[in-house]
Chain A
Amino acid sequence: MSKNVSAPLLRTARLLDLVPYLNTHQGIALKELANHFEVTPTQLSADLMTLWMCGLPGYTPLELMDLEFESGYVTIRNASTLSKPRTITFQEGVALLLGLDLVASSLPEDRLDLFATVESLKERLAKLLDVPVKLSVVAATSGAVSTTISEAVQSHTGLQIRYHSLYKDQVSDRSVMPVDLYESDNHQYMRAYCFTANDYREFRIDRIETAAPSPVPADFVVQKIDAEKITFSITGKQPSRDVAERFAISDMPTGEEIHLSSYSRQWIERSVMASGGAVVLNSPVDIRVEVAKKAQLMLKRYKEA
């Protein structure tokens, strides 16, 4: 809302919202009130002075709002017309609905009570908005897994995780010491020291299938091994959105060589295979040979069957 609304209008909205808030927080400290509305105490005093001048037509003391500042504490009387909070706007309602959906999909599965509460809130909000709007958010990670992981990060404890590596097409059990969580390209990652690999690893949280707290060696030895990036080059044969997204390139002019790099041989090989006839891998030669060999073996099997 604030982006399209001018400063005097924002102030009007704040004054309208101040009245119901004061009504349920009688005797609140001016400073606390200013904090709550994210303005300076001076600005808030000016707001209250303005409110003082407002009321029902007639504007005699009987009709004006009655605000009392007593040694830094504020009370309000005679404000029944504005005493209830304003209804939420469409944007606010939509944002809350989407947020609630995410909260619901992040809850641990056994909290049926909270699921029911979220559902009831969503229904009431949707009724308030009064449009057949469909909104949904599905959390990328299971509630139980993300809860366990954030707990471990906060309390610096180890984890036993079952991780699905897409490149290796392998599900492995690993003992890790989480370092931190971060977001990149719309995915959440956990940086951790992996005792199974004896190195730092990054794990995409939505590929962690299970996670449980587990003790780690009290004085584990950290050996940092710098992995080396493999450079490779591809040439596009036909434009494909899927291929462009897979290799994270914005454009793929047909016939032009594109130089890229990756930490994983397997990723390069699998990505080229998945791209079918749309892409040619020029180098490294050993991966190129491997792709041709695989394609030949697979073709043989399809022809025999």
Chain B
Amino acid sequence: MSRKIERLINLTIALLATKRYLTKSEIFRTVEGYEGSAETKERMFERDKDDLRSLGISIDVGSFDPLFNDEAGYRIKSEIYQLNLGEITPTEISLLSLAADAWQGAAFADATQSAILKLSSIGVPADPIDIPGLSPKLSNSSKDLETITGAIGTSDFLIFDYLSTNLLTEERTIVPIALSNKAGLWYVSGVDHDVQEVRTFRLDRVIGSITVKKNKDAFEFPSEFELDQIDSTSTTSSAIIDVRKGKGHALRALATSLKDLGEWDQIRVPILSIEYLTAQILWHGEDVFVHEPSELRENIVEQLQALLINHE
């Protein structure tokens, strides 16, 4: 086994050190470890290339003399092989370590540890940040994070079953473009294959596992997409709601403006979804009263009538 490891290291060194493309025959002649028949060497080399690529080492294929020789040549560009984050400061090393530690025991724990190992080789000592208790952690609610980020990188399709608002299971196919975590919940955003629009999905509503399908078409990243769209602030319509003083804190937190009415305050709340806002308002009972829009009022009255009939 260590023969193979030696060969892989020697191949990496040879391909890194060369200033021009090395042909296969040059590699077989000079790099130690290629032995046996032509066919055996060929097979060894193909496997070695795949192995290095799976370690994240990209091998450049080209022709070193396009005019006279069309035999393919290989090299590893050092500017691509080497870590280049520019000048790194001790404070930056500390922040990167905190970022890595955030994954402790979670999805990317291995990946961040190997990244930190590489960073430690730069030889810049960490300068501890003097904020006591600063060790934020990312909750790992999904085993699928690696699948998702992988597909973001390759623009491949993700196919999964999603729990719809009426508790039905729907199959969704998206090209993922973003991953986010808000208040401990993970969200994936992507271009929905059926509607060709960006949709956002909560990962804990995904049923079963996510499968990846190769996307052979060219994918154009929706340029106008911003993660803020997931936020409620970008909606245009809003509701005008009276909230009793000292009450309705959850609704107050959403308010974009507030008017003092004495015993009550009048607030304006952006409408992300009528259903969601209706539930929020009903939760607060008599401490909240809706003025506008009529669509929201009608929905609330309808729910109240159902509540009354169901509980009389």
Task: Give A residues with C-beta under 8 Å from B.
Answer: 1-5, 8-9, 11-13, 15-17, 20-21, 23-25, 36-37, 46, 50-51, 53-59, 81-82, 84-100, 102-103, 105-108, 111, 114, 117-118, 120-121, 124-125, 128-129, 131-140, 143, 146-151, 154, 164, 166, 169-171, 183, 186-188, 206, 237-242, 244, 246, 251-252, 270-277, 280-281, 288-289, 291-292, 294-299, 301-302, 305
Contact = CB atoms under 8 A, between A and B. Distances in A.
Given A4-B54, A87-B83, A57 B121 contact: no
Main secondary structure, interface of A, reads: helix
Given A1-B111, A12-B51, A92-B115, A121 B96 contact: yes
Most buried by A among B1, B107, B139: B139
Contact of B301 (A20, A108, A291, A299): A299
B234 interface: no
A100 B167 contact: no
Interface residues of B, number: 123
Given A103-B102, A241-B165, 16 more contacts: A1-B56, A8-B1, A13-B114, A15-B9, A20-B121, A21-B121, A24-B122, A57-B10, A57-B30, A84-B78, A86-B83, A87-B56, A134-B225, A147-B134, A151-B133, A183-B139
B14 A103 contact: no
29 contacts: A1-B56, A2-B110, A3-B110, A9-B54, A57-B10, A57-B14, A86-B82, A88-B115, A89-B111, A89-B114, A98-B108, A99-B112, A103-B98, A103-B134, A107-B134, A120-B92, A129-B153, A135-B179, A137-B180, A137-B182, A146-B133, A169-B250, A170-B246, A242-B275, A242-B276, A273-B283, A276-B302, A277-B302, A292-B307
Contacts of B8: 12
A212 B285 CA distance: 32
Interchain residue pairs A-B with the least CB separation, the first 10: A24-B123, A277-B306, A99-B99, A276-B303, A150-B133, A95-B108, A134-B178, A57-B30, A239-B167, A186-B184
Interface string B101-118: 111000110111011011
